[in-house]
């Protein structure tokens, strides 16, 4: 056997010293006015003081900043270096199996301690809270990825952590709960009896399986009621999306080294953070008229906020405690079916993603879960790595784009975000193989009922 260099680079790794030093804030480059969050009671734009009980001032400033770049403080860089820069991979074996003329690249975010992109913002949020004297953080978690990311980050920066975990996931995904405990967080199933919001939902519906919207209400109520406690959100907000742009900034350098710029950038969307993190640095060139790259957001048919929701002001939680955000939404009363991509079961979408989609910069597509798992298994059997069910939504769309390219005789470069591995989601894979996975699609009548009152 001879040792020789591969014809194409399959793995483009950056040096530790090449970690990006700043985040990209797309708010500086939007070609349309932003829609400010509104106070839930007065319906007037919220000011910094309205948010101060929940967030440290530095994150509130980032939320409304018009600065194009924000420096990443050294202690955050040091934490990020535990797993960053992450590799860019070329999926040559998948390309061969699809007989596609497309080139497929992916940014691998599954190598972080929590196994997804979420620690990128968790360590930043924990740092700013610690710097401003916060002792304890509360949050909600769906499938458990965000809760485990924040549990890890609060341990790094020595904060206490309280996680309200959507009950159905608490029961279906016990190992995420175990991870949170390893990192020292307290975890309760939501709706819980710890908050008025939780008690109210349980009184109305004792069998409630919970939802992200309900868990957010609980985490906010807990934080608002205690002087030493603040609240942390894992997606949706502008500062969260900005913290994730480290993914795209790394990918830009790596794609340049691969000698290939993407014609289409793909990511799955729950609240929009992993998609934005990869897409926004590439969107910078599109907004500046320097590229024609397409951007494709992929959502589940069971929770189709961009493709079928309404673009309107809505609450981020179920009870109506958060500011009103202008976003694509299925209505804050929406409780999604228990599909396996728990991280994508949210009624709304990041205002930045919603605005960019509304102005034609971002396209969206929705898939039911069985075809998503077909794609996940095809990926694992060619590339090896087992994707999270969330990530598999992006892979479904990538495979469909690659097959279309073959049929049209085109050879586009496709880049997607591999947002997390699926090693804690194997029960979902078993359900797929046993044939017990069902496709749930939301009826138009139900959507109209949910968004009608917005
Ligand atoms: C949470 C999660 C998502 C969805 O959240 P976004 O904010 O839309 O990125 C996607 N993939 C994985 C692996 C996740 O953990």
Tens of pLDDT, residue by residue over 384-436, are 999 999 999 999 999 999 999 999 999 999 999 999 999 999 999 999 999 99
Q: Are residues 192 and 57 in the same domain?
A: yes
In a domain, 409, yes or no: yes
Distance from residue 19's CA to the centre of ligand 1 (Å): 22
In a domain, 323, yes or no: yes
Nearest-atom index, ligand 1, CA of 149: 15
Q: How far apart are CA 359 and CA 293, in angstroms?
A: 15
Distance from residue 282's CA to the centre of ligand 1 (Å): 19
Judge whether 24 and 68 are in contact, CB under 8 Å: yes
Q: Are residues 124 and 261 in the same domain?
A: no
Q: Are residues 220 and 339 in the same domain?
A: no
List CB contacts of 436: < 8 A, sequence separation 6 or more: none
C-alpha neighbours within 13 Å on the C-beta side of residue 101: 9
Q: How far apart are CA 151 and CA 229, in angstroms?
A: 15
What residues line ligand 1, using a CB cutoff of 6 Å? 116, 118, 145-146, 235, 268-275, 343-344, 388, 390-391, 419-420
Nearest-atom index, ligand 1, CA of 388: 13
Of all protein residues, the one whose alpha carbon is nearest to atom 13 of ligand 1 is 420
Domain that holds residue 164: 24-72+118-238
Nearest-atom index, ligand 1, CA of 344: 4
Given this model, what pLDDT does residue 1 score?
47
In a domain, 4, yes or no: no
In a domain, 1, yes or no: no
In a domain, 440, yes or no: yes
What b-and-e string marks burial along 189-205, b requiring 16 or more CB atoms within 10 Å of the CB?
Answer: bbbbebbebbeebbeee
Given this model, what pLDDT does residue 339 score?
75
Collect the ranges in the chain with pLDDT lower than 70.
1-8
Q: Are residues 36 and 89 in the same domain?
A: no
In a domain, 37, yes or no: yes
Given this model, what pLDDT does residue 5 score?
57
Q: Are residues 279 and 247 in the same domain?
A: yes
Residue 84: both structure tokens together: 């960053």
Q: Are residues 141 and 51 in the same domain?
A: yes
Tally the residues of the chain.
454
- Domain boundary pick from 192, 208, 238: 238
Q: Which of 107, 116, 179 has most ligand 1 atoms within 8 Å of CB, for mutation?
A: 116
Distance from residue 176's CA to the centre of ligand 1 (Å): 14
Q: Are residues 326 and 223 in the same domain?
A: no
What b-and-e string marks burial along 417-454, b requiring 16 or more CB atoms within 10 Å of the CB?
Answer: bbbbbbebbeebbeebeeeebeeeebeeeebeebbeeb
Judge whether 332 and 289 are in contact, CB under 8 Å: no
Distance from residue 416's CA to the centre of ligand 1 (Å): 13
Q: Are residues 271 and 405 in the same domain?
A: yes
DSSP states of 252-300: HHHHHHHT---SEEEEE-SSSHHHHHHHHHHHHHHHTTS---EEEEEEE
Q: Are residues 246 and 286 in the same domain?
A: yes
Q: How many domains does the chain have?
A: 2
Q: Are residues 64 and 43 in the same domain?
A: yes
DSSP state of 28: G
Given this model, what pLDDT does residue 8 score?
66
Distance from residue 209's CA to the centre of ligand 1 (Å): 20
Distance from residue 437's CA to the centre of ligand 1 (Å): 21
Q: Are residues 46 and 192 in the same domain?
A: yes
Given this model, what pLDDT does residue 72 score?
98
Of all protein residues, the one whose alpha carbon is nearest to atom 7 of ligand 1 is 273
Q: How far apart are CA 212 and CA 44, in angstroms?
A: 26
In a domain, 3, yes or no: no
In a domain, 5, yes or no: no
CA dihedral of residues 232, 299, 349, 73 (deg, nearest 10): 40
Here the CATH number for the domain that contains residue 220 is 3.40.50.1100
Q: Are residues 202 and 316 in the same domain?
A: no
Q: Which of 340, 390, 397 has most ligand 1 atoms within 8 Å of CB, for mutation?
A: 390
């Amino acid at each position: 056997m001879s040792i020789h260099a591969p014809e194409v680079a399959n793995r483009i790794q950056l040096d530790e010293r090449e970690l990006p030093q700043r985040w990209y804030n797309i708010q500086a480059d939007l070609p349309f006015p932003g829609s400010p969050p509104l106070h839930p009671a007065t319906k007037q734009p919220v000011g910094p003081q309205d948010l101060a009980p929940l967030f440290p001032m530095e994150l509130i400033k980032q939320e409304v900043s018009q600065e194009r770049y924000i420096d990443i403080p050294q202690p955050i860089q040091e934490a990020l270096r535990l797993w960053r820069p992450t590799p860019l991979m070329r999926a040559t074996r998948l390309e061969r199996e699809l007989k596609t003329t497309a080139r497929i690249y992916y940014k691998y975010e599954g190598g972080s301690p929590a196994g997804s992109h979420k620690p990128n913002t968790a360590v930043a949020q924990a740092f700013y809270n610690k710097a401003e004297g916060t002792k304890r953080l509360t949050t909600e978690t769906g499938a458990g990825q965000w809760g485990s990311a924040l549990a890890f980050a609060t341990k790094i920066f020595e904060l206490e952590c309280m996680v309200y975990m959507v009950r159905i996931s608490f029961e279906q995904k016990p190992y995420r709960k175990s991870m949170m405990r390893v990192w020292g967080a307290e975890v309760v199933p939501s709706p819980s009896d710890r908050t008025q919001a939780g008690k109210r939902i349980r009184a109305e519906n004792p069998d409630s399986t919970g939802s992200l919207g309900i868990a957010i209400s609980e985490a906010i109520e807990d934080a608002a009621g205690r002087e030493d406690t603040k609240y942390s959100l894992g997606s949706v907000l502008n500062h969260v999306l900005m913290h994730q742009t480290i993914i795209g900034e790394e990918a830009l350098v790596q794609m340049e080294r691969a000698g290939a710029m993407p014609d289409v950038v793909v990511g799955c969307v729950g609240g929009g953070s992993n998609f934005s993190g990869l897409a926004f640095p590439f969107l910078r060139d599109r907004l500046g008229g320097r590229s024609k790259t397409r951007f494709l957001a992929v959502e589940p048919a069971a929770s189709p906020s961009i493709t079928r929701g309404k673009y309107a002001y809505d609450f981020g939680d179920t009870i109506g405690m958060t500011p009103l955000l202008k976003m694509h939404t299925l209505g804050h009363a929406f409780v999604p079916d228990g599909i396996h991509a728990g991280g994508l079961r949210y009624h709304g979408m990041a205002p930045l993603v919603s605005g960019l989609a509304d102005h034609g910069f971002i396209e969206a597509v929705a898939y039911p879960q069985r075809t998503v798992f077909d794609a996940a298994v095809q990926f694992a059997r060619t590339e090896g790595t087992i994707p999270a069910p969330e990530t598999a939504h992006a892979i479904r769309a990538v495979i469909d784009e690659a097959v279309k390219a073959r049929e049209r005789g085109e050879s586009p470069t496709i880049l997607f975000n591999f947002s997390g591995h699926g090693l804690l989601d194997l029960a979902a894979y078993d359900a797929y193989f046993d044939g017990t996975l069902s496709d749930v699609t939301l009826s138009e009548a139900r959507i109209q009922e949910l968004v009608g009152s917005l």
